[in-house]
Amino acid sequence: MKKQIKTRKNPFPVMENMTVKMVRDYLKRKKSIIIPVGVIEQHGHHLPLKTDALQAEHLCRMIGKKTGILVAPTMFQSFSGGECPGTINISPTTMSLVISDMLASLALQGFRNFYIFLNHGGSENDRALDNALKLILRTNPLFKHSMICLMPVWKFGGSGGWKKAFQEGDWHAGWLETSIVMALEPDLVRMDELKTDSKKMVRLMTQHPDNYQHAQKIVDDELVVAKTGQRPEVQVGVMGFPERASRALGKKIVANIVASASKKIMELEKKADGIYREVAFKPEPLMLDT
């Protein structure tokens, strides 16, 4: 009687499911890697805390399959700024150091092109990561031939996705994110438990995503640093209009994000030759306001 050989599923492009041999063989063909970045934070009563990380993981794996590029384990920890139960904040500095160390470790193995797919948009988080990546290129010779791309998810998907959502003030846990999670992991969406903060608070937050915060000073003077934090009135943390969400819309948005991000990555892959050339330099405005 013939012994049956179990057919193993190819785990590519999911790095953590691969073996040392598989990654070594991949590096003989390609030197590129996609790094999904999310956060664990408040997303109302209808979406899971891992919404950003969930999206980053699913989208990056789809992009990895489409482009043939390896996908690193998803980074769940970032700085949210939110303070509702379940939100886990690590400082923007720590987050940027972790990603810098991750890139250095991968560079030592032979990876050269890094696509950091950012699925969390906190302003403090974005600024810290952007600064860290510039410094790593400036100070670490490991990266002298490396291309590092910071790819926020909201740059992809066309006019019917993030662009439309932002125009409507649908920043966070609104129709766009709810639709995407409906498409990716519908069992985690609890529309029967949908709730928002007061109309006044929702209106304020849809005007600007950082309006969930308030500022305090011991002395109201321009030289005194303000202490900021989440407004005590924010108890749910929805910035948008989740009641407009649908699974069909989510599938369309997901397909558009994957298609446009994959196209951009392939364009960059063709042009990346490891040689740095002069480009326009635009210094930040002088901070000498007298």
Q: What is the CATH number of the domain that holds 164?
A: 3.40.50.10310
Please indicate, yes or no, if residue 177 is contained in any of the structural domains. Answer: yes
Structure tokens at 159: 């006019």
Please indicate, yes or no, if residue 179 is contained in any of the structural domains. Answer: yes
Write out pLDDT tens, residues 192-247. 999 999 999 999 999 999 999 999 999 999 999 999 999 999 999 999 999 999 99
Q: Is 153 exposed, middle or buried (0-12, 13-18, 19+ CB in 10 A)?
A: buried
Mean pLDDT to the nearest integer, 96-113: 97
Cα→Cα distances 191→23, 182, 185, 278, Å: 41, 10, 13, 51
Write out pLDDT tens, residues 167-180. 999 999 999 999 99
Please indicate, yes or no, if residue 142 is contained in any of the structural domains. Answer: yes
Please indicate, yes or no, if residue 121 is contained in any of the structural domains. Answer: yes
- At what angle are helices 247-271 and 175-184 packed, to 10 degrees? 90
**Which residue in this structure is represented by tokens 């050339």?**
277
State the Cα–Cα distance between residues 114 and 118, nearest whole angstrom: 12
Q: Which domain holds residue 198?
A: 15-271
CB count within 10 Å of CB 124 equals: 18
Ramachandran category for residue 29: left, alpha or beta (phi over 0 → left; psi -120 to 50 → alpha): alpha
| Domain count for the chain | 1
Please indicate, yes or no, if residue 290 is contained in any of the structural domains. Answer: no
Q: What is the pTM of this model?
A: 0.94
Give the single-character DSSP code of 257: H
Asked whether residue 4 carries a pLDDT value surpassing 90, the answer given is no
Please indicate, yes or no, if residue 277 is contained in any of the structural domains. Answer: no
